[in-house]
Structures are given as structure tokens and as C-alpha cells.
Amino acid sequence: MSDWERVEGEVAAIVSARPDEYDAVTRENLAELLRLIKETRRPAPFLAPGYWPTFRIVWEVKGSENLEIEVFDDRYEVYRSFDGRTDIWYEHHRPGEPLSAPFLSELPDPT
């Protein structure tokens, strides 16, 4: 199984566990971000459900071990953990909107 097949399986499992809770806009925000990650040849992430009907994205690659992005219907929340503190900021986003340069710079480097 490829990394991207694993990602697809993780998404399917998350949605199927709470099928009535993940709205179409949140799922499209996730799909758009995953397409960007894949098309720009960045490492495949790992996915988990958020507390809300959201998706948590993490990486196990050098330089991004402390990065988490939570996908909502109207934003991506970016978390970076450093020595006991966490920096959090929002990238307001709806499907089809452009992403900011600061957001793109948070993503792991292409492989």
C-alpha cells in the first residue's frame, strides 16, 4: 500500500466513524489541502479525527514533527509545538480560495 492509499484509507475511516457529522465543505477543504500536498510532492501526512467533526493532519518528517493542521469548514488551524508552548494561528479558507504564502511555508518541504 502506498502512503497516499493509506491517507485515503484514514480519511474514509474517520468519516465512516461519524458519517453524519462531517459536512461537505470540511471534506472539500481537506481534499483540497491533500491535493496540494500531493501535487507539490510533499510527504504524505497522517490523519486523525479532531474533537469537532474536523480532521487533524500531522507529519513524521524532519522539520515538521511539531506541525499539526486541523481542517475546519472555514479555516485551517496551524499548530507548532516548541519546548512546552504551542503557537496557533488560523488560515481562513473556503474551498477554491488561494492559500497565503505563510501557510504554504509551514508545509513540509517537497521530497
> What is the reported pLDDT for 84?
87
**Can you tell me the mean pLDDT for 44-48?**
98
Q: Which residue(s) pair with 76 in the sheet?
A: 71, 91
Amino acid in the structure at residue 70: E
Q: Give the pLDDT band (50/70/90) at residue 25.
A: very high
pLDDT above 90 as % of the chain = 93
Domain assignments of the chain as residue spans, ordered by start: 3-106
Q: For the chain, give the mean pLDDT.
A: 96
Q: What is the pLDDT of residue 111?
A: 84
Write down the pTM of the prediction: 0.95
Check residue 54 and give its pLDDT. 97
User: Could you count the other beta carbons within 10 Å of the beta carbon of residue 74?
Assistant: 11
- Specify whether the CB–CB gap between 71 and 29 falls below 8 A: yes
Distance in angstroms (rounded) separating the CA atoms of residues 62 and 90: 23
Q: What is the arithmetic mean of pLDDT over 74-94?
A: 95
In the chain, % of residues over pLDDT 70: 100
